[in-house]
Chain A
Amino acid sequence: MAKKLSTEMVDLLGNYGHIGFTFVAAIFIGLGGGIYLDEHFFDGNTSPWFTFIGLAFGIGAGFKSLFDILRTPAARTKDKDSEG
């Protein structure tokens, strides 16, 4: 019982413990990439545009990682149910 409980705990921690960091990291990478394209690749000629596009893609990536997290454990329990 205790062992089952602890593996469940590990599963939960691993699956949901990194939501916040992954979400924020995705947004910052998108924003940073957009700013880099604007300032260094196009020398500021396109100034706000790529920043906003990058930000949008970053937010999209953040939500996509959220949906991935939601989908993975559900799929896994379904597999286990069909086996047993």
Chain B
Amino acid sequence: MEHPILFISIILEKLGLPIPHGPIGNTFLEKLCEPYMTYTWFVMIFLVVVGKLTLSNIEMIPGKGQNFWELLIGGMYDFFNDNMGSELTEKLFPMISTFALYIAVGNLIGLIPGFMSPTSSINTTLALTLIVWVTHHLIGLRAHGVGYIKHFLGPIPVLIPLMLPIELISNVARLLSLSIRLFGNIMAKETLLGILFMLAGAYFAPLPIMLLGVLVSLVQAMVFVLLTVVYFGQSNEHAH
């Protein structure tokens, strides 16, 4: 199915840059101009600019913008603190909160006509998931050293040959489930919206799906962050 109009792609095409016509470009420049790449940069620029505009002069009595960010960041900080302890939160708060903001804005931006969710490409979600997955192993190795392997051996020494493959498989399954859940939900939303726009856009057919899309976007961002926090907390704990 041909994707609906994406305005960044049109601007880039007018500027003479090669836009890939399939999902994957051939040359390096085409790969850089794929829609999910350009919209990822768009979301990054959006977050930086909005942050700069609202937080350029921080005051004791917060205005509208600062109030919003204080509520959001404060809420996330408390939530991380509850779920993975203050030590890890101090270290990893910037990373996880950036993920949360990026995924939430990236999901929601696809609801506006002319935009596309960068998270509706498996490349984006797999990249995010790989970072989380590698980080949670690094946290475990750092906290327990070689003893981190006890997390994968199960409770009883006799059952090690049985438990080791099972634990390894279920650990790798985290990689797959975390990335495919986000990708699948957001791609389904995007595709459904695109089809409804094409079939009956004049009769406001996509409106109910847009309402559901807002819900799905926020819930998926929340679930991704929550699972990230839970994994980090688990690998930091002692093996049971």
A residues neighboring B (CB under 8 Å): 7, 10, 13-14, 17-18, 21-22, 24-26, 28-30, 33, 57-58, 60-62, 64-65, 68, 72
- With A14-B226, A29-B176: A21-B181 Cβ-Cβ less than 8 Å: yes
B-chain residues with CB within 8 Å of residue A30 when the two chains form the complex: 169
**Contacting A13 at CB < 8 Å: which of B176, B178, B226?**
B226
Inter-subunit contact A61/B230 (CB<8 Å): no
A-B contacts, 16 of them at CB < 8 A, read A13-B223, A17-B219, A18-B177, A18-B181, A21-B176, A22-B173, A22-B174, A25-B174, A25-B180, A28-B176, A57-B165, A57-B169, A58-B169, A61-B165, A61-B170, A62-B173
* Residue on A nearest B228 in the bound complex, by CB: A14
Whether, in the assembled complex, B172 has its beta carbon less than 8 Å from a beta carbon of chain A, the answer is: yes
Inter-subunit contact A29/B173 (CB<8 Å): yes
Q: How many interface residues does B have (CB within 8 Å)?
A: 21
A64 to B222, CA, bound (A): 24
B-chain residues with CB within 8 Å of residue A61 when the two chains form the complex: 165-167, 169-170, 173
* Residue on B nearest A21 in the bound complex, by CB: B177
B-chain residues with CB within 8 Å of residue A22 when the two chains form the complex: 170, 173-174, 177
Interface residues of B in 129-171 (CB under 8 A from A): 162, 165-167, 169-170
**Contacting B172 at CB < 8 Å: which of A10, A21, A29, A62?**
A29
Interface residues of B in 183-210 (CB under 8 A from A): none
* Residue on B nearest A3 in the bound complex, by CB: B75
Give the Cβ gap from B58 to chain A, nearest Cβ, in Å. Answer: 25
* Shortest Cβ-Cβ A-B pairs, 3 listed: A14-B226, A61-B169, A25-B176
B residues neighboring A (CB under 8 Å): 79, 162, 165-167, 169-170, 172-174, 176-178, 180-181, 219, 222-223, 226-227, 230
A30 to B168, CA, bound (A): 10
- With A13-B226, A14-B223, A28-B176: A64-B166 Cβ-Cβ less than 8 Å: yes
Give the Cβ gap from B235 to chain A, nearest Cβ, in Å. Answer: 13
A18 to B224, CA, bound (A): 10
A-chain residues with CB within 8 Å of residue B172 when the two chains form the complex: 29
Inter-subunit contact B169/A29 (CB<8 Å): yes
A-chain residues with CB within 8 Å of residue B177 when the two chains form the complex: 18, 21-22, 24-25
A64 to B151, CA, bound (A): 13
A-chain residues with CB within 8 Å of residue B166 when the two chains form the complex: 57, 60-61, 64
Inter-subunit contact B170/A21 (CB<8 Å): no
A24 to B173, CA, bound (A): 8
B-chain residues with CB within 8 Å of residue A72 when the two chains form the complex: 230
A68 to B227, CA, bound (A): 13
Give the Cβ gap from A58 to chain B, nearest Cβ, in Å. Answer: 6
**Contacting B169 at CB < 8 Å: which of A10, A21, A26?**
A26
